Amino acid sequence: MDNIGFAFLLTLIAGLSTGIGSFIAFFSKNTNKNFLSCSLGFSAGVMIYVSMIEIFVKAKDSLSLSFGDKMGTGATILGFFGGILVIALIDKFIPKDTNPHEVRDVEELDQISSNSLNTPKAKMKLMRTGIFTALAIAIHNFPEGLATFIAALQDSTIAIPIVVAIAIHNIPEGISVSVPIYYATGSRKKAFLYSFISGLAEPVGALVGYMILMPIMNNTVFGILFASVAGIMVFISIDELLPLAKEYDDGHYSIYGLVFGMLVMAISLFLFM
């Protein structure tokens, strides 16, 4: 029971880091884009390395106990690409009215003519942008929450770096939700609330996953689930984190962050062997 509480707490921390993005947007005049690029690259490095080197292997070990080495490896591969397929379908069917990272910070909107933001049509468009962005992020956060929760139940040494990586990744998402809502309503409270709610999808994903899967959990279910988690995390890293990191990048900071994230994850796994 203690492990379940700890796993849920880690998932909650990861999800609510979207709120940090709101604070950064409102109380920081300038965004250090190279630092943000490096941080996002770091997150991708952590998630890719731990998925391919640790989570995939643990999934294979579990499935091999159920099906033998060859069939277990095949089932792991199917689970991995099945996870990619699931998150790709989620990505395909989220609302396309807005790009989740279209509006990045307050400074960017401050450069827009103030007159263009004062019309009812402009405010309605910004509000719509914020709401759809929050919805898109919530849908993406749901499987992330399940991934974090399952990882934490299995091994906290794997889960904590994942939580850090997802938290860093959620900060700009929080900004992208809160900024258009703020400019549409003039209310920091509403902007923070929408951002906060979008992050709650992660602990909700953990809770739903626990209620559905825990009663039937065994080596086979765990292995398939863990393999799927690895696929989901690799897809998120390649599809979201790295492209966004490159958008902020003035040089090779995103790649430096990627390599450093892999190195940190490798060292942490080595130390806790």
Binding residues for Fe(2+): 141, 144, 170, 173, 202
Binding residues for Zn(2+): 144, 169, 173
C-alpha distances (whole Å) from 196 to each of 12, 123, 135, 185 are 11, 21, 12, 16
Distance CA 142, CA 150 (A): 13
CB atoms closer than 10 angstroms to residue 151? 29
Residue 167 CA to its chain's centroid (Å): 7
Three-class DSSP category at 234: helix
Closest CA to 248 of 66, 11, 31: 31
Handedness of CA 59, 63, 65, 70 (dihedral sign): negative
C-alpha distances (whole Å) from 142 to each of 45, 237, 243, 246 are 21, 16, 21, 25
Residue 125 corresponds to which amino acid? K
Distance CA 207, CA 202 (A): 9
CB atoms closer than 10 angstroms to residue 111? 7
